[in-house]
């Protein structure tokens, strides 16, 4: 069995103890979407402020609410750090890159995805060796995708 | 004297299986129990020597297989002190038995505005089937709340039961371990003319069960939590209630006759056993019940009460305010299920660290999300014991929790 230190890297524990961008945004104007893991009961809320429309729309702010384990919380915390100021198109590419790092098979990679630098998020690579925890790591990302879809639908 | 070492020696997985070179500390029996050698052998031997269809072929081998299957019905009836063997119905699992009750009895007897009373510590299997009926025909669901120490708050029971058609409740909570006063609750239901339904999944494997002393109407439980195989569950009911109920699933075995115009049903229990049942599993279930009977259900309960006391005391002594174990402290009214919050660590992280030392526990909502709401939490870590666990297993749990502190730096 792989050692726990591969799962609980220091940077993950740091984001767990001091999560970034926790809180709420007024909705509307922000988009608010709840996500949950039916297996363990973890709940996460993504508040997303999006300016513009289509793939060029830009995420200007994001906040995270809810409760979860160290993996789901740190993954969501690191996620907020990489998406603020990015376009929807860029965020979708980052999401694909992250999910494929998690070994999820239903992700269709597009050209250029492999060039994306995930930064701190690379620390979550060790999760792949603990398959039951992959759902924890992607909970925030799946909720983010729903929030992006909802925000863009609302702007049309 | 209950010899736990001798008991554990009968479970190949607990004695022979290792991970990272170390034995397993299996504390997830509230989820499902491990299987003793004689259950494994009974199923293998049955397949090697006696396997055939039941109830429908006239050759001798089929007769022998039918006898094995019906033998399981006798064993179950004996285990729960049922007045008649024919009152025992085999289902896929206890969840199917609960659905059978809601869909067959419920659809025949409940309409818009009729009241079903549940408790806040029910498993989803005793919630969702009733909620399906609520969506389908507008029945009302009322909830018996909990006291601070996780027992049923029966102070306004009369009010909650007023006008109720069903009281359906667990005989032992899979999260809190709480054992409510089942006999009193059945009497209270009958006093208002309501049906008394008992989810006995967690109770039957660990206690002497007497459905006649309870005076329950319908009782659901499962094989896999009491050393038997998966794939077979049980519904026991009073014969006059079962006879008055319509069937649940239709098909082979459950009919008396079928014409182009319709069908008539077979007598109970066949009326509720459509299709080829879990024949091989029934052979294993008989062996499991005989195993429990050899040990004695009262001895098993005594052993688990002592171990429950030891676990509650050990966790309290070693972790004090840093651990919250939910449910009553009095082992007379609780079974060996320990749901807890440890420091401010998330249950997933706690169970991950425990797994490092081969301590197998469950983390999550335990299929009791409404109860999590009552407890104002999202999830717990849950250790649950059975007849093969001993004090060393509890010590391993406590040692593992110490390891969690090291990793998360508390």
Q: Does B353 touch chain A (CB under 8 A)?
A: yes
Distance from CA of B326 to the nearest CA of A (A): 18
Binding-face residues of A in 80-139 toward B, CB within 8 A: 130, 133, 136
Residues B346, B273, single domain; the answer is: no
Residues B18, B137, single domain; the answer is: no
Average pLDDT over residues A133-152: 92
Binding-face residues of B in 374-403 toward A, CB within 8 A: 378-379
Contact B356 A4 (CB under 8 A): yes
| Alpha carbon B144 to its chain's center | 20
Across the strands, what pairs with B255? B265
Q: Maximum Cα–Cα distance for chain B, whole Å?
A: 72
B34 found inside a domain: no
Residues of chain B with pLDDT under 50: none
CATH number at residue B335: 3.90.1150.10
Q: Which residue in chain A has the smallest CA separation from B380?
A: A40
Domains of chain A: 4-155 (3.90.1010.10)
The pair of structure tokens assigned to A66 is 């809810």
B238 found inside a domain: yes
Percent of chain A topping pLDDT 90: 47
From B275, B293, B311, give the residue that closes a domain.
B293
Length of chain A: 156
Distance from CA of B323 to the nearest CA of A (A): 17
Sheet (strand B164-170) strand order: B88-91, B233-237, B218-222, B195-199, B164-170, B115-119, B140-144
Contact B92, B231 (CB under 8 A): yes
Cis peptide before A29 (omega within 30 of 0): yes
Residues B160, B286, single domain; the answer is: yes
Cα→Cα distances A3→A101, A138, B307, B355, B407, Å? 19, 21, 31, 11, 12
Q: What is the pTM of this model?
A: 0.92
B367 found inside a domain: yes
Instruction: Note the pLDDT tens digit of each residue in A87-106.
Output: 999 999 999 989 988 888 77
Binding-face residues of B in 17-76 toward A, CB within 8 A: 19-20
Residues B321, B265, single domain; the answer is: no
Contact B378 A42 (CB under 8 A): yes
Q: Does the pLDDT at position A1 exceed 60?
A: no
Q: What is the pLDDT of residue B42?
A: 98
Q: Which residue has the tokens 């198109």?
A: A89
Contact A40 B356 (CB under 8 A): no
B35 found inside a domain: no
| Alpha carbon B197 to its chain's center | 14
Catalytic site residues of B? 367
Distance CA B164, CA A80 (A): 51
Q: Best mutation site among B349, B350, B356, B357 for testing chain A: the one with the most A CBs within 10 Å?
A: B349
Confidence of residue A110 (pLDDT cuts 50, 70, 90): confident
Residues B9, B83, single domain; the answer is: no
From B293, B324, B355, give the residue that closes a domain.
B293
CA-based nearest residue to A113, from A126, A98, A127: A98
Contact A40 B409 (CB under 8 A): no
Contact A41 B372 (CB under 8 A): yes
Q: Does B348 touch chain A (CB under 8 A)?
A: yes
B36 found inside a domain: no
Q: Does A7 touch chain B (CB under 8 A)?
A: yes
Cβ pairs A/B, distance under 8 A: 51
Residues B345, B285, single domain; the answer is: no
Q: Does B369 touch chain A (CB under 8 A)?
A: yes
A-chain CB neighbours of B379 within 8 Å are 40-42
Residues B69, B213, single domain; the answer is: yes
Average pLDDT over residues A27-49: 89
CATH number at residue B136: 3.40.640.10
Query: How many independent structural domains does chain B possess?
Result: 2
Residue A4 has its nearest CB partner, among B353, B365, B409, at B353
Contact B19 A1 (CB under 8 A): yes
Contact B373, B127 (CB under 8 A): no
Residues B393, B254, single domain; the answer is: no
Residues B270, B345, single domain; the answer is: no
Contact A46, A99 (CB under 8 A): no
Confidence of residue A2 (pLDDT cuts 50, 70, 90): low
From B293, B322, B356, give the residue that closes a domain.
B293
User: Could you list the residue range(s) of the whole structural domain that residue B403 is in?
Assistant: 4-29+296-408
Instruction: Note the pLDDT tens digit of each residue in B346-392.
Output: 999 999 999 999 999 999 999 999 999 999 988 999 999 999 999 99
B224 found inside a domain: yes
Residues B301, B242, single domain; the answer is: no
Residues B57, B140, single domain; the answer is: yes
B358 found inside a domain: yes
B368 found inside a domain: yes
A-chain CB neighbours of B372 within 8 Å are 41
Confidence of residue A148 (pLDDT cuts 50, 70, 90): very high
A-chain CB neighbours of B353 within 8 Å are 4
Q: What is the pLDDT of residue A132?
A: 85
Residues B273, B128, single domain; the answer is: yes
Q: Does the pLDDT at position A54 exceed 90?
A: no
Q: What is the pLDDT of residue A88?
A: 93
Contact B364 A40 (CB under 8 A): yes
Residue A43 has its nearest CB partner, among B19, B347, B378, at B378
């Amino acid at each position: 069995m792989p050692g726990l230190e591969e799962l609980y890297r220091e940077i993950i524990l740091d984001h767990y103890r001091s999560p970034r961008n926790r809180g709420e945004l007024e909705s509307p104007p922000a988009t608010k979407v709840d996500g949950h893991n039916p297996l363990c009961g973890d709940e996460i809320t993504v508040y997303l402020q999006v300016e513009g429309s289509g793939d060029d729309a830009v995420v200007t702010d994001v906040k995270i609410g809810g409760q979860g384990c160290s993996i789901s919380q740190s993954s969501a915390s690191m996620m907020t750090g990489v998406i603020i100021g990015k376009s929807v198109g860029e965020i979708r590419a980052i999401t694909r890159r992250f999910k494929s790092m998690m070994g999820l098979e239903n992700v269709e990679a597009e050209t250029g995805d492999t060039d994306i630098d995930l930064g701190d998020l690379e620390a979550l690579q060790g999760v792949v060796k603990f398959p039951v925890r992959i759902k924890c790591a992607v909970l925030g990302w799946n909720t983010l995708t729903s929030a992006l879809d909802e925000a863009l639908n609302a702007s049309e | 004297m209950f010899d736990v070492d001798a008991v554990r020696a009968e479970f190949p997985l607990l004695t022979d299986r290792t991970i990272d070179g170390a034995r397993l500390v299996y504390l997830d029996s509230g989820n499902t129990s491990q299987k003793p050698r004689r259950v494994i052998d009974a199923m293998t031997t049955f397949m090697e020597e006696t396997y055939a269809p039941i109830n429908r072929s006239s050759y001798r081998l089929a007769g022998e297989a039918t006898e094995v299957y019906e033998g399981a019905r006798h064993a179950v009836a004996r285990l729960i002190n049922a007045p008649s063997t024919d009152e025992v119905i085999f289902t896929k699992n206890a969840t199917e038995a609960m659905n059978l009750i809601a869909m067959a009895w419920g659809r025949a007897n409940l309409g818009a505005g009729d009241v079903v009373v549940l408790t806040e510590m029910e498993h989803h299997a005793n919630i969702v089937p009733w909620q399906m009926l609520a969506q389908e025909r507008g029945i009302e669901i009322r909830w018996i709340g909990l006291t601070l120490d996780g027992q049923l708050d029966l102070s306004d029971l009369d009010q909650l039961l007023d006008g109720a058609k069903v009281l359906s409740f667990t005989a032992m909570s899979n999260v809190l371990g709480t054992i409510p006063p089942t006999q009193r609750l059945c009497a209270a239901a009958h006093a208002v003319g309501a049906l008394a339904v008992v989810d006995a999944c967690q109770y039957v494997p660990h206690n002497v069960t007497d459905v006649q002393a309870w005076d329950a109407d319908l009782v659901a439980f499962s094989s896999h939590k009491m050393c038997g195989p998966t794939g077979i569950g049980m519904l026991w009911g009073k014969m006059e209630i079962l006879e008055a109920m319509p069937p649940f699933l239709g098909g082979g075995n459950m009919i008396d006759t079928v014409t182009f115009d319709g069908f008539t049903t077979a007598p109970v229990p066949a009326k509720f056993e459509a299709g080829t049942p879990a024949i091989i599993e029934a052979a294993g279930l008989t062996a499991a019940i005989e195993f429990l009977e050899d040990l004695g259900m009262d001895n098993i309960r005594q052993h688990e009460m002592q171990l429950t006391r030891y676990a509650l005391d050990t966790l309290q002594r070693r972790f004090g305010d840093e651990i919250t174990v939910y449910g009553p402290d009095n082992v007379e009214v609780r079974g060996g299920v320990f749901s807890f919050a440890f420091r401010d660590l998330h249950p997933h992280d706690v169970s991950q660290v425990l797994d490092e030392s081969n301590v197998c526990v469950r983390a999550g909502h335990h299929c009791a999300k409404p109860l999590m709401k009552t407890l104002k939490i999202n999830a717990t870590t849950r250790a649950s014991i059975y007849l093969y666990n001993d004090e060393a297993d509890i010590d391993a749990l406590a040692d593992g929790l110490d390891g969690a502190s090291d990793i998360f730096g508390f």
